[in-house]
Structure 1
Amino acid sequence: MTTSHDSASRPQGYRGDLTLFFSLAFGVSWVAWATAWALGGPANSPAASGVHLIGAFGPLLAALVLRIRRGRRGEPAPAQVVRFGRGTLLWAPLLLVLASATVWAGVLLAQAAGGPALSLDGIKDTVGDAGGIVAFVAMMLVGGPLGEEPGWRGTVHPRMRATMGRFQAVLVLGVVWSVWHLPLFFLEGTVQYELGLATAGGVLFAVSVVPMAMLIGYAYERGGIVAAIAVHFAGNTTMVLLGVKAAETLALLLGLQALVAVLLLTFAPPRALPRTPRAGAVGAAPEPAVRV
């Protein structure tokens, strides 16, 4: 017979929340991207651009649905949620620089090994094509981090961490996140489409999502959602500015980011997150959310 003590010590799972989240996030994003593909033309064309952008906000919309449902049910937030705090002001810029530095290092190492040369003119052209630095930064924020991180890290990561270790959570979420991107390989006008799924560059790009997820997961546990957005933004923006598409560059970037993420998670881990007791267990007191 299970005692109240056994129930209280057993971590609470969030299988229902995760099932609903993944159904909504994948459903909204993949339907939107399929619609953009059916409309024809590149993703940034007048006909498809709006629908394509909706797809990027699938994780955010799923997170909002879960938040509303939790509020109506009167359920507490997972204990593993990292709240906004003064520590964010320190960790967000530091980790932003680190994420950007890993991309720069991969590009420079690839160039030294005989790969594509870094072009400053290419950076200017990329910013100019976007309509200037302000428009470029806004595009990079809206088109990725803002639409995704409240979902992947702010919603999924804490729920996975309720029953998983840190490495397991970031790896599993990284694989899920990579699969979520797959339809973009068939949508003209995206970086993924230019690479092609059946190429070395395309495969490396898909796999590189996993170490990036590890870095962002570390950032979330250090500095909350702001730090996660900062790292996601830094990685995406630096890759776009430097035109990271060559297979050798992607391979070096994948290895560097994996190495940095493993080192951080192993030797400079954020403070251990608490595990949430099973809801309704006798004598189970709610644990406060972690503040960093």
Structure 2
Amino acid sequence: MSFPTVVPHLLAGFGPMIGAIVIRARRARLRQPVPAHTVRLRLSMRLFWVPPLLVTASATVLVAALLAHLLGGPMVSLTSAQSLISTVGGPVPFLISMLVAGPLSEEPGWRGTAYPRLRASLSRLQAGLLLGVVWAVWHLPLFFIPGTIQAGFGLFSWSGLLFTLSVVPMALLTGYAYERAGVVAAIAVHFGFNTTMALLGVSSPITLAVVVAVQIVVATTLLAWRRDRKTDLPVQADAHQVVPDSSPRVGQTRG
């Protein structure tokens, strides 16, 4: 986390976005069409999904923290939040850092690029689970970098294990958000989760375990809600079926 080793650390953090830029540049150079399951960014009614999805992501952490306290876990407190915000220079720098480090640096890659390509041959659940496992493995190097939250947990600890496990239901939630309102919604869900975790200082194993449980319930409920078998299934006729770049339609989404 100190110079010069912080440089590759930052580049790695933006790895998913860099990968997305490379893949999309290649697609444009080869004049390849947009994948069929891509959700286009449109200033339409779809963006009204963003605020409730952001609130839902934050609520999963807050509700889990309250439930964990009832089960004997630590009390919910904003003391650590005040200290954290003061350390980074105030609310605005804090919110900007939480938005850039994670949501903006990762979601264009994970959900905006990888997810719609996985959906060409996988269902929503399968694509979310597979990407969740990849996403969890991608976080593992953070456990070996002093100064990160993950290093504070320790890889071979209950907190470290539960943090890694929590990435999978988060992938399901962000995947659902992407299909509702595109990358903006995925960024909002990622931001809501990370920010609430940081403000509440969630670190105890019991709280992390309840967070995982609550998010599994919420993710499975959302995926099952208004489920449409026709739109939930991957494209079967042709794995390369795509929507042309010039199409005026919003990319296919799933309910």
Same-fold call, TM > 0.5? yes
Are positions 1:118 and 2:76 aligned together?
Answer: yes
Residues 178, 246 of structure 1: alpha-carbon distance in 2 compared, 3 angstrom cutoff: same
1:76 to partner: Cα distance: 0.1
Q: Percent identity?
A: 50
- The residue that corresponds to 1:171 in the other structure is 129
What is the CA–CA distance in structure 1 between the aligned matches of 2:218 and 2:239, rounded to whole Å?
36
Deviations 1:146-170 (A, max 9, x none): 1100000000100000110111010
After TM superposition, list the pairs within 5 Å mapping 1:43-54 onto structure 2.
43=1, 45-54=2-11
Q: Does 1:80 align with 2:80?
A: no
Superposed CA deviations along residues 35-91 of structure 1, whole A, max 9, x for unmatched, are xxxxxxxx2x34443432221100110111110111111100101000112134211
SS for the counterpart of 1:244 is coil
1:219 aligns with 2:177: yes
Counterpart of 2:62 in structure 1 is 104
Among 209, 215, 218, the residue aligned to 1:257: 215
Q: Tell me how large the CA RMSD over aligned residues is.
A: 2.2
Change (3 A) 1:291 1:265: closer
Contact 1:80 1:276 in 2 (8 A): no
Measured in 2, the distance between the counterparts of 1:140 and 1:268 equals: 32
Instruction: Kindly provide the CA deviation profile for residues 95-115 of structure 1, in whole angstroms up to 9, marking residues without a partner as x.
Output: 000000000011111112121
Match of 1:230 among 185, 188, 198: 188
Are 1:272 and 2:231 counterparts? yes
Offset of residue 291 of structure 1: 6.4
- Residue 232 of structure 1: CA displacement? 0.3
The partner residue of 1:70 within 24, 27, 39 is: 27
SS of match in other structure, 1:176: helix
Distance between the aligned counterparts of 1:221 and 1:143, measured in 2? Answer: 22
**Mean Cα displacement is larger for which, 97-106 or 49-58?**
49-58
Per-residue CA distance 1:177-235 (angstroms, 9 max, x = gap): 00000000000111110000101111111011000000000000001000000000000
For the structure 1 residues 196 and 272, does the alpha-carbon distance in structure 2 shift closer, same or farther, using more than 3 Å as the test?
Answer: same
C-alpha separation between the residues in 2 aligned to 1:272 and 1:78? Answer: 15
Q: Distance in 1 between matches of 2:71 and 2:52?
A: 28
**TM-score normalised by the chain length of structure 1:** 0.79
Q: Do the aligned residues in 2 keep the contact of 1:60 with 1:150 (CA within 8 Å)?
A: yes
Distance 1:266 1:147 in 2: 29
Separation (CA, whole Å) in 2 of partners of 1:262 and 1:291:
18
Residue 180, structure 1, aligned to residue 142, structure 2: no
Contact 1:149 1:225 in 2 (8 A): yes
> 1-side partners of 2:74 and 2:226: how far apart?
33
Equivalent residues of 1:88, 1:226 under 8 A apart = no
Structure 2 unaligned segments of length 5 or more: list them.
Answer: none
For these two proteins, the number of residue pairs brought into alignment is: 247
Look at both structures and tell me which one has the larger radius of gyration over its CA atoms.
1
1:277: how far off?
5.3
Give distance in 1, aligned partners of 2:205 and 2:243.
51
Superposed, 1:193-212 pairs within 5 Å as 193-212=151-170
